[in-house]
Amino acid sequence: MPPLAETLLPHEGIQRDGQRLVGLDPIVEELLLQMACQWDGALQDWSEQTQQPVPEDLEDSLTNGVALVLLHGDPGTGKSASARFVSDYYCRIKGITGSILTLTTQARGNGLVGDFAGNIWRAFDQLRALPEGSLKVMIVDEVEGMAVRRSEQQAHHEEKAATDSFLQVADELAGESRMIIFLTTNQPDEIDPALRRRCIAEFGFGRPGPDARRVLLARQLPAFSEAQLDALVTVSEGMTPVDIRAALRGCYMAAVSKMEPLAFEVVQEVLSQRHRTQAV
């Protein structure tokens, strides 16, 4: 496996995409708070302000722990985009640079003995070697394919070795400042429980509710009336932001090819019929 591609922070595109995320503010804020407590003494500031002591256990788990965070939810609900956005935002607040490495199931390699576990070690070595003082971010995509439950009957030896590597890496990274690892998955129950226990926080990403869909639809359909948007909120139930975007793109392309205005009836029809990303 070649070295992982590196995305440098701050990054205009990530910021722009992140600012358009709808309904994910609470998750973004909690992640930023977590980072401030872990690396920037937010807990001590709170203690001074309130004159209340910080329990030793809590302080210990924050300063000596690994910032390992689990993001779970259906595909296209904003897990990766939020991880990137939070990282970018943190760098901007602190006035520092950062890097994001993304580890995908490509790490499984070509089946040679030791390939998979070796790729995981190399990926984390690359993370550790990033510049001192910068924010070091790893996003592990589809972690259920990389850290399978070792108890699973079908789990292959290679897979078990890879899971072990993950656990060892997680332990070795304890206490590293400004390093965060986001594990993303749509099947949280398939992840090895020991790895899941090591996560300091878990966030569930749901499909957008009516209010969030209203915002997404209004933004992408500026020519439509309030009443029309209300009707589309109803027919788009169950769609992810990515489903909505793909459906509307199709509608616009058809209108452009015919040089006709986008018709409400067509959009309504497409949104009600259009395939919804399946939950697994």
In the shown chain, the binding pattern of residues 240 to 259 toward ligand ADP, with x for contact by CB under 6 A and - for none, equals: -xx-----------------
DSSP for 181-214, written as a single string: EEEEES-GGGB-HHHHHH-SEEEEEPPP-HHHHH
The least CB distance from residue 49 to ligand ADP, in Å, is 33
Total H helices, total E strands in the chain: 12, 6
Q: Which does 109 bind (CB under 5 to 8 A by kind): ligand ADP, Mg ion, none?
A: none
Residue 80 within binding range of Mg ion, rule CB under 5 A: yes
In the shown chain, the binding pattern of residues 174 to 203 toward ligand ADP, with x for contact by CB under 6 A and - for none, equals: ----------x-------------------
> Per CB under 5 A, which region of 39-47, 75-83, 144-152, 205-213 contacts Mg ion?
75-83
Question: CA 242, CA 238: separation in Å to the nearest integer?
Answer: 11
Give the DSSP letter of residue 225: -
CA distances from 127 to 41, 85, 103, 158, 171 (A): 24, 18, 11, 23, 15
In this chain, which of 11, 72, 79, 149 binds ligand ADP, going by CB under 6 A? 79
Q: Are 240 and 77 in contact (CB under 8 A)?
A: yes
Which helix (H) or strand (E) segment holds residue 237: the answer is none
Residue 276 identity (one-letter amino acid) = R
120's tokens: 């995981």
The least CB distance from residue 183 to ligand ADP, in Å, is 12
Residue 77 within binding range of ligand ADP, rule CB under 6 A: yes
Question: CA 206, CA 240: separation in Å to the nearest integer?
Answer: 9
Residue 165 within binding range of ligand ADP, rule CB under 6 A: no
Q: Which is nearer to ligand ADP, 156 or 219 (CB)?
A: 219
Residue with smallest beta-carbon separation from Mg ion? 80
> Per CB under 5 A, which region of 36-44, 76-84, 204-212, 252-260 contacts Mg ion?
76-84
Residue 17 within binding range of ligand ADP, rule CB under 6 A: yes
Residue 238 identity (one-letter amino acid) = G
Instruction: Tell me which residues touch ligand ADP (CB under 6 A).
Output: 17, 20-24, 73, 75-81, 184, 205, 208, 241-242
Instruction: Tell me which residues touch Mg ion (CB under 5 A).
Output: 80
